[in-house]
Amino acid sequence: MSYTREIQIEFNHCDPAGIVFYPRYFEMTNSVVENFFNDVVGRSFASMHNGANNGVPTVALAAEFVAPSRLGDKVLFSLRIEKLGRSSVSLKIEGHMGAELRLRVALTLVWIDGMKSAAWPDAMRARLVAYQEDAA
């Protein structure tokens, strides 16, 4: 099981050649992560960042741009947990249009509390573990 989110490619995502300008993919993948935390983990980015003094910054990121996406395309992004650590989580995100792979992203996030890495709060860890097991 993967967490999925469809994103339609808009004019603001494209470069003069009419394809997605690669930094826009990072914005899209961050949106997928943000929605995953809200929908699955039960902690919105707003609740983490507005006064709670915690969050999940990206500490590693690698991307492969396999095929171009163009204005009007609807790309289905899927996220799955690869590894859950004491304070980190490694994710894989793929973007497909139909059967065609458009991009593949591997990223690692770290839970921080008070601007230092910390163990996942019990409730968040339980949801991440349950989701990881559901995906297996």
Average pLDDT over residues 109-133: 94
The token pair that represents 22 in the structure block: 């690669």
Average pLDDT over residues 89-104: 98
**Could you tell me if 75 and 6 are in contact, meaning their C-beta atoms sit under 8 angstroms apart?**
yes
Angstrom distances, CA of residue 115 to CA of 1, 36, 91, 97, 129: 32, 22, 21, 38, 24
Average pLDDT over residues 107-136: 91
Residue 50 banded pLDDT, cuts 50, 70, 90: confident
Q: Which residues contact 94 (CB under 8 A, 6 or more apart)?
A: 77, 78, 101, 103, 104, 105
Give the chain's mean pLDDT: 95
User: Quick one: DSSP state of residue 100?
Assistant: E
Domains of the chain listed by start with CATH number: 3-135 (3.10.129.10)
